Amino acid sequence: MKEQKIVIALGGNAIQAGDGSAQAQQKAIEKTVSQLVKIIKLGYQAVITHGNGPQVGNILLQQIKAHSKQTPAMPLDTCGAMSQGMIGYWLEKQMNTQLRKEGISKEVAAIVTQVEVDPKDPAFNNPTKPIGPFYSEEEVKKIMEEDDEIIFKEDAGRGWRRVVVSPKPINILEYKSIKTLIQNDYIVIAAGGGGIPVYRHNDRIIGVEGVIDKDFASEKLAELIDADILLILTEVENVYIHFNKPEQKALKEISFREAEKYMKQGQFAQGSMLPKVEAAVNFVKSKPGRKGVITSLDKALDAILGKTGTVIKTE
Ligand SMILES: Nc1ncnc2c1ncn2[C@@H]1O[C@H](COP(=O)(O)OP(=O)(O)O)[C@@H](O)[C@H]1O
Ligand SMILES: NC(=O)OP(=O)(O)O
Protein backbone atom coordinates (compact mmCIF):
# COMPACT_ATOMS: atom_id res chain seq x y z
CA MET A 1 0.00 0.00 0.00
CA LYS A 2 1.16 3.55 -0.79
CA GLU A 3 2.52 5.38 2.26
CA GLN A 4 0.13 8.04 3.52
CA LYS A 5 1.38 11.61 3.65
CA ILE A 6 0.83 13.51 6.88
CA VAL A 7 1.50 17.15 7.69
CA ILE A 8 2.05 17.54 11.44
CA ALA A 9 1.68 21.11 12.76
CA LEU A 10 3.37 21.68 16.12
CA GLY A 11 1.78 24.16 18.53
CA GLY A 12 3.40 26.43 21.11
CA ASN A 13 3.78 23.81 23.86
CA ALA A 14 5.82 21.56 21.52
CA ILE A 15 8.75 24.01 21.62
CA GLN A 16 8.36 26.91 24.04
CA ALA A 17 9.06 25.83 27.63
CA GLY A 18 10.46 26.98 30.97
CA ASP A 19 12.54 30.13 30.78
CA GLY A 20 12.64 30.05 26.96
CA SER A 21 16.38 29.33 26.96
CA ALA A 22 17.87 27.21 24.17
CA GLN A 23 18.26 24.41 26.72
CA ALA A 24 14.61 24.54 27.89
CA GLN A 25 13.25 24.66 24.35
CA GLN A 26 15.44 21.78 23.19
CA LYS A 27 14.26 19.72 26.15
CA ALA A 28 10.65 20.30 25.03
CA ILE A 29 11.63 19.39 21.46
CA GLU A 30 13.18 16.12 22.65
CA LYS A 31 9.79 15.10 24.08
CA THR A 32 7.96 16.36 20.99
CA VAL A 33 10.16 14.37 18.63
CA SER A 34 9.58 11.18 20.62
CA GLN A 35 5.86 11.56 19.75
CA LEU A 36 6.61 12.27 16.08
CA VAL A 37 8.86 9.21 15.80
CA LYS A 38 5.98 7.00 16.97
CA ILE A 39 3.91 8.20 13.99
CA ILE A 40 6.81 7.85 11.55
CA LYS A 41 7.29 4.26 12.81
CA LEU A 42 3.74 3.49 11.65
CA GLY A 43 4.97 4.17 8.10
CA TYR A 44 3.69 7.70 7.41
CA GLN A 45 5.60 10.14 5.22
CA ALA A 46 5.80 13.12 7.54
CA VAL A 47 6.18 16.82 6.90
CA ILE A 48 6.64 18.81 10.11
CA THR A 49 5.54 22.42 10.48
CA HIS A 50 5.73 24.55 13.60
CA GLY A 51 4.80 27.90 15.19
CA ASN A 52 7.27 30.66 16.10
CA GLY A 53 5.24 33.32 17.96
CA PRO A 54 7.32 33.40 21.17
CA GLN A 55 10.64 32.88 19.34
CA VAL A 56 10.24 35.41 16.52
CA GLY A 57 9.06 38.04 19.01
CA ASN A 58 12.12 37.44 21.17
CA ILE A 59 14.48 37.58 18.18
CA LEU A 60 12.91 40.90 17.14
CA LEU A 61 13.37 42.29 20.66
CA GLN A 62 17.01 41.20 20.66
CA GLN A 63 17.49 43.10 17.38
CA ILE A 64 15.95 46.25 18.81
CA LYS A 65 17.91 46.07 22.08
CA ALA A 66 21.28 45.41 20.42
CA HIS A 67 20.79 47.87 17.54
CA SER A 68 23.86 50.00 16.75
CA LYS A 69 25.88 51.12 13.74
CA GLN A 70 27.99 47.96 14.01
CA THR A 71 25.08 45.61 14.77
CA PRO A 72 22.08 46.82 12.76
CA ALA A 73 18.65 45.43 13.68
CA MET A 74 17.18 42.91 11.23
CA PRO A 75 13.58 43.35 10.03
CA LEU A 76 10.73 40.99 11.02
CA ASP A 77 10.79 38.88 7.81
CA THR A 78 14.48 38.18 8.41
CA CYS A 79 13.72 37.41 12.08
CA GLY A 80 11.15 34.90 10.78
CA ALA A 81 13.88 33.24 8.70
CA MET A 82 16.14 33.16 11.79
CA SER A 83 13.39 31.46 13.81
CA GLN A 84 12.92 28.83 11.07
CA GLY A 85 16.66 28.12 11.08
CA MET A 86 16.85 27.91 14.86
CA ILE A 87 13.81 25.65 15.40
CA GLY A 88 14.57 23.66 12.23
CA TYR A 89 18.07 22.95 13.57
CA TRP A 90 16.73 21.83 16.96
CA LEU A 91 14.17 19.53 15.30
CA GLU A 92 16.71 18.08 12.83
CA LYS A 93 19.17 17.31 15.60
CA GLN A 94 16.59 15.50 17.74
CA MET A 95 15.03 13.71 14.77
CA ASN A 96 18.39 12.39 13.60
CA THR A 97 19.26 11.18 17.11
CA GLN A 98 15.93 9.50 17.86
CA LEU A 99 15.41 7.99 14.40
CA ARG A 100 18.84 6.34 14.54
CA LYS A 101 18.04 5.02 18.03
CA GLU A 102 14.92 3.38 16.58
CA GLY A 103 16.87 1.95 13.64
CA ILE A 104 15.09 4.17 11.09
CA SER A 105 17.46 5.32 8.35
CA LYS A 106 15.33 8.19 6.93
CA GLU A 107 17.03 11.51 6.23
CA VAL A 108 15.70 14.81 7.64
CA ALA A 109 15.84 18.24 5.98
CA ALA A 110 14.63 21.63 7.20
CA ILE A 111 13.70 24.00 4.40
CA VAL A 112 13.75 27.79 4.71
CA THR A 113 10.25 28.44 3.36
CA GLN A 114 8.85 31.60 1.78
CA VAL A 115 5.07 31.88 1.75
CA GLU A 116 3.41 34.17 -0.75
CA VAL A 117 0.75 36.58 0.51
CA ASP A 118 -1.48 39.10 -1.24
CA PRO A 119 -0.11 42.64 -0.73
CA LYS A 120 -3.76 43.81 -0.84
CA ASP A 121 -4.81 41.45 1.96
CA PRO A 122 -6.98 43.54 4.36
CA ALA A 123 -5.03 41.90 7.22
CA PHE A 124 -2.28 44.47 6.53
CA ASN A 125 -4.55 47.13 8.07
CA ASN A 126 -5.16 45.28 11.33
CA PRO A 127 -2.32 43.66 13.33
CA THR A 128 -3.64 40.53 15.08
CA LYS A 129 -0.79 38.05 15.55
CA PRO A 130 0.68 38.04 19.09
CA ILE A 131 4.45 37.52 19.26
CA GLY A 132 7.14 37.53 21.95
CA PRO A 133 6.75 37.82 25.73
CA PHE A 134 3.75 38.84 27.84
CA TYR A 135 3.66 42.26 29.53
CA SER A 136 1.60 43.95 32.23
CA GLU A 137 -0.59 46.94 31.27
CA GLU A 138 1.88 49.31 33.01
CA GLU A 139 4.83 47.91 31.04
CA VAL A 140 2.89 48.31 27.80
CA LYS A 141 2.10 51.98 28.57
CA LYS A 142 5.81 52.65 29.19
CA ILE A 143 6.93 50.97 25.95
CA MET A 144 4.28 52.83 23.94
CA GLU A 145 5.37 56.18 25.38
CA GLU A 146 8.83 55.51 23.89
CA ASP A 147 7.60 54.07 20.57
CA ASP A 148 3.96 54.63 19.59
CA GLU A 149 4.29 52.47 16.45
CA ILE A 150 4.42 49.24 18.45
CA ILE A 151 0.93 47.82 18.96
CA PHE A 152 -0.09 45.61 21.88
CA LYS A 153 -3.24 43.62 22.54
CA GLU A 154 -4.52 41.69 25.49
CA ASP A 155 -4.04 37.93 24.81
CA ALA A 156 -6.88 35.76 26.15
CA GLY A 157 -6.60 36.93 29.78
CA ARG A 158 -2.90 35.95 29.93
CA GLY A 159 -1.40 39.48 29.63
CA TRP A 160 -0.44 41.90 26.87
CA ARG A 161 1.62 40.99 23.81
CA ARG A 162 2.94 42.83 20.81
CA VAL A 163 0.80 42.15 17.73
CA VAL A 164 1.91 42.22 14.09
CA VAL A 165 0.08 41.82 10.78
CA SER A 166 -0.80 38.27 9.74
CA PRO A 167 -1.79 37.96 6.08
CA LYS A 168 -3.26 34.71 4.73
CA PRO A 169 -0.94 32.33 2.82
CA ILE A 170 -1.75 31.96 -0.90
CA ASN A 171 1.23 29.92 -2.16
CA ILE A 172 4.36 28.22 -0.87
CA LEU A 173 7.37 29.04 -3.03
CA GLU A 174 9.41 25.94 -2.11
CA TYR A 175 6.60 23.37 -2.40
CA LYS A 176 8.14 21.63 -5.42
CA SER A 177 11.45 21.16 -3.56
CA ILE A 178 9.48 19.85 -0.57
CA LYS A 179 7.61 17.40 -2.85
CA THR A 180 10.87 16.17 -4.36
CA LEU A 181 12.32 15.53 -0.92
CA ILE A 182 9.18 13.62 0.13
CA GLN A 183 9.36 11.51 -3.06
CA ASN A 184 12.92 10.66 -2.03
CA ASP A 185 11.71 9.51 1.40
CA TYR A 186 12.98 12.52 3.38
CA ILE A 187 11.24 13.77 6.51
CA VAL A 188 10.79 17.47 5.77
CA ILE A 189 10.53 20.36 8.23
CA ALA A 190 8.95 23.29 6.38
CA ALA A 191 6.76 26.40 6.62
CA GLY A 192 8.11 27.02 10.13
CA GLY A 193 6.40 29.94 11.85
CA GLY A 194 3.84 29.95 9.04
CA GLY A 195 6.66 30.61 6.56
CA ILE A 196 8.39 33.90 5.76
CA PRO A 197 5.70 36.18 4.26
CA VAL A 198 6.67 37.51 0.83
CA TYR A 199 4.90 38.99 -2.18
CA ARG A 200 5.80 39.30 -5.84
CA HIS A 201 6.38 42.67 -7.48
CA ASN A 202 7.22 42.39 -11.20
CA ASP A 203 10.16 39.95 -11.20
CA ARG A 204 11.10 40.50 -7.59
CA ILE A 205 10.18 38.75 -4.36
CA ILE A 206 9.77 41.16 -1.46
CA GLY A 207 9.75 40.21 2.25
CA VAL A 208 6.87 41.37 4.41
CA GLU A 209 7.13 42.44 8.05
CA GLY A 210 4.45 40.13 9.41
CA VAL A 211 3.91 36.63 10.80
CA ILE A 212 1.62 34.12 9.09
CA ASP A 213 -0.56 31.83 11.20
CA LYS A 214 1.13 28.42 11.12
CA ASP A 215 -2.20 26.54 11.02
CA PHE A 216 -3.19 28.27 7.76
CA ALA A 217 0.28 27.81 6.24
CA SER A 218 0.28 24.12 7.25
CA GLU A 219 -3.07 23.67 5.53
CA LYS A 220 -1.79 25.34 2.35
CA LEU A 221 1.29 23.10 2.37
CA ALA A 222 -0.81 19.98 3.02
CA GLU A 223 -2.92 20.80 -0.05
CA LEU A 224 0.07 21.56 -2.28
CA ILE A 225 1.89 18.32 -1.47
CA ASP A 226 -1.37 16.34 -1.75
CA ALA A 227 -1.27 15.10 1.86
CA ASP A 228 -3.83 12.64 3.23
CA ILE A 229 -3.89 13.92 6.81
CA LEU A 230 -3.39 17.30 8.48
CA LEU A 231 -2.59 16.66 12.15
CA ILE A 232 -2.65 19.78 14.34
CA LEU A 233 -1.02 19.26 17.74
CA THR A 234 -1.80 21.67 20.56
CA GLU A 235 -2.50 21.64 24.30
CA VAL A 236 -5.96 20.08 24.35
CA GLU A 237 -6.91 16.45 23.55
CA ASN A 238 -10.10 17.53 21.76
CA VAL A 239 -11.84 20.50 20.29
CA TYR A 240 -14.83 21.33 22.49
CA ILE A 241 -18.13 23.04 22.08
CA HIS A 242 -19.18 25.22 25.04
CA PHE A 243 -15.47 25.30 25.92
CA ASN A 244 -14.78 25.97 29.63
CA LYS A 245 -18.50 25.94 30.49
CA PRO A 246 -20.30 23.32 32.61
CA GLU A 247 -21.93 21.87 29.45
CA GLN A 248 -18.54 21.55 27.64
CA LYS A 249 -18.56 18.62 25.18
CA ALA A 250 -15.63 17.05 23.35
CA LEU A 251 -15.99 16.72 19.58
CA LYS A 252 -14.87 13.24 18.40
CA GLU A 253 -15.53 12.42 14.73
CA ILE A 254 -17.42 15.10 12.82
CA SER A 255 -18.06 16.12 9.21
CA PHE A 256 -16.67 19.43 7.92
CA ARG A 257 -20.27 20.66 7.66
CA GLU A 258 -20.81 20.09 11.36
CA ALA A 259 -17.53 21.88 12.12
CA GLU A 260 -18.66 24.82 9.94
CA LYS A 261 -21.94 24.98 11.84
CA TYR A 262 -20.04 25.28 15.16
CA MET A 263 -17.69 27.86 13.63
CA LYS A 264 -20.71 29.99 12.70
CA GLN A 265 -22.03 29.64 16.26
CA GLY A 266 -18.73 31.11 17.55
CA GLN A 267 -17.77 27.95 19.49
CA PHE A 268 -14.03 28.38 18.86
CA ALA A 269 -11.92 31.28 20.13
CA GLN A 270 -10.39 33.57 17.50
CA GLY A 271 -6.61 33.39 17.31
CA SER A 272 -6.43 30.04 19.14
CA MET A 273 -8.87 27.22 18.26
CA LEU A 274 -10.72 28.89 15.37
CA PRO A 275 -7.74 28.94 12.93
CA LYS A 276 -7.08 25.26 13.69
CA VAL A 277 -10.67 24.21 12.96
CA GLU A 278 -10.79 26.50 9.91
CA ALA A 279 -7.52 25.02 8.58
CA ALA A 280 -8.76 21.45 9.13
CA VAL A 281 -12.11 22.22 7.46
CA ASN A 282 -10.46 23.85 4.43
CA PHE A 283 -8.12 20.87 4.05
CA VAL A 284 -10.97 18.33 4.21
CA LYS A 285 -13.04 20.37 1.74
CA SER A 286 -10.16 20.59 -0.75
CA LYS A 287 -10.41 16.89 -1.78
CA PRO A 288 -12.68 14.01 -0.75
CA GLY A 289 -11.07 11.49 1.61
CA ARG A 290 -8.78 13.97 3.34
CA LYS A 291 -8.77 14.04 7.15
CA GLY A 292 -8.07 16.86 9.63
CA VAL A 293 -7.13 15.80 13.16
CA ILE A 294 -6.75 18.11 16.17
CA THR A 295 -5.39 16.76 19.45
CA SER A 296 -2.69 17.20 22.09
CA LEU A 297 0.97 16.39 21.54
CA ASP A 298 0.96 13.44 23.94
CA LYS A 299 -2.14 11.91 22.30
CA ALA A 300 -0.83 12.23 18.74
CA LEU A 301 -0.32 8.51 18.16
CA ASP A 302 -3.65 7.54 19.75
CA ALA A 303 -5.44 10.10 17.58
CA ILE A 304 -3.84 8.70 14.42
CA LEU A 305 -4.93 5.22 15.55
CA GLY A 306 -8.50 6.55 15.87
CA LYS A 307 -8.60 6.27 19.67
CA THR A 308 -8.97 9.95 20.56
CA GLY A 309 -8.75 13.54 19.29
CA THR A 310 -11.14 15.50 17.12
CA VAL A 311 -11.31 14.12 13.59
CA ILE A 312 -12.85 16.23 10.84
CA LYS A 313 -13.86 14.22 7.76
CA THR A 314 -15.73 14.65 4.48
CA GLU A 315 -18.96 12.99 5.72
N1 LIG B 1 -13.56 25.44 21.62
C2 LIG B 1 -12.33 25.17 22.06
N3 LIG B 1 -11.95 23.88 22.23
C4 LIG B 1 -10.71 23.58 22.67
N5 LIG B 1 -9.77 24.52 22.98
C6 LIG B 1 -10.09 25.81 22.82
C7 LIG B 1 -11.38 26.21 22.36
N8 LIG B 1 -11.42 27.57 22.28
C9 LIG B 1 -10.23 28.01 22.69
N10 LIG B 1 -9.40 26.96 23.01
C11 LIG B 1 -8.02 27.13 23.48
O12 LIG B 1 -7.17 27.08 22.33
C13 LIG B 1 -5.88 26.63 22.76
C14 LIG B 1 -5.05 26.24 21.55
O15 LIG B 1 -4.68 27.42 20.87
P16 LIG B 1 -3.19 28.01 20.96
O17 LIG B 1 -2.67 27.92 22.35
O18 LIG B 1 -3.18 29.32 20.29
O19 LIG B 1 -2.47 26.95 20.03
P20 LIG B 1 -1.00 26.49 19.69
O21 LIG B 1 -0.90 25.11 20.29
O22 LIG B 1 -0.95 26.46 18.21
O23 LIG B 1 0.00 27.45 20.30
C24 LIG B 1 -6.25 25.51 23.70
O25 LIG B 1 -5.19 25.19 24.59
C26 LIG B 1 -7.47 26.07 24.43
O27 LIG B 1 -7.09 26.71 25.64
N1 LIG C 1 3.41 31.63 13.32
C2 LIG C 1 2.59 31.12 14.27
O3 LIG C 1 1.41 30.85 14.03
O4 LIG C 1 3.18 30.95 15.51
P5 LIG C 1 2.46 30.48 16.86
O6 LIG C 1 1.72 29.20 16.53
O7 LIG C 1 3.59 30.24 17.83
O8 LIG C 1 1.55 31.58 17.28
- ipTM of the shown complex: 0.99
For the segment 9-29, the average pLDDT, to the nearest whole number, is 95
Q: Which pLDDT does position 270 carry in this prediction?
A: 87
Say if ligand 1 is within 6 A of residue 310 CB: no
Query: Quick check: is 12 catalytic?
Result: yes
Query: Quick check: is 65 catalytic?
Result: no
Q: How far is the CA of 271 from the centre of ligand 1 (A)?
A: 8
Summary mean pLDDT of the chain: 96
Which position among 11, 57, 210, 214 bears the catalytic label?
214
Runs of H (alpha helix) within the chain: 22-41, 53-65, 76-101, 137-146, 175-183, 214-224, 256-265, 273-286, 300-304
Q: Which pLDDT does position 158 carry in this prediction?
A: 81
The closest-lying atom of ligand 2 relative to the alpha carbon of residue 11 is: 6
Say if ligand 2 is within 6 A of residue 213 CB: yes
Percent of the chain with pLDDT over 70: 100
Taken in order of first residue, the domains within the chain and their CATH numbers are 5-117+168-313 (3.40.1160.10), 127-164 (no CATH)
Q: Which residues pair with 109 in a beta bridge?
A: 188
- Render pLDDT for 235-263 as a digit per residue (tens, 0 to 9): 999 999 999 999 999 999 999 999 999 99
Q: Which pLDDT does position 271 carry in this prediction?
A: 84
Query: Quick check: is 51 catalytic?
Result: no
pLDDT at 60 over 90: yes
pLDDT at 277 over 90: yes
pLDDT at 265 over 90: yes
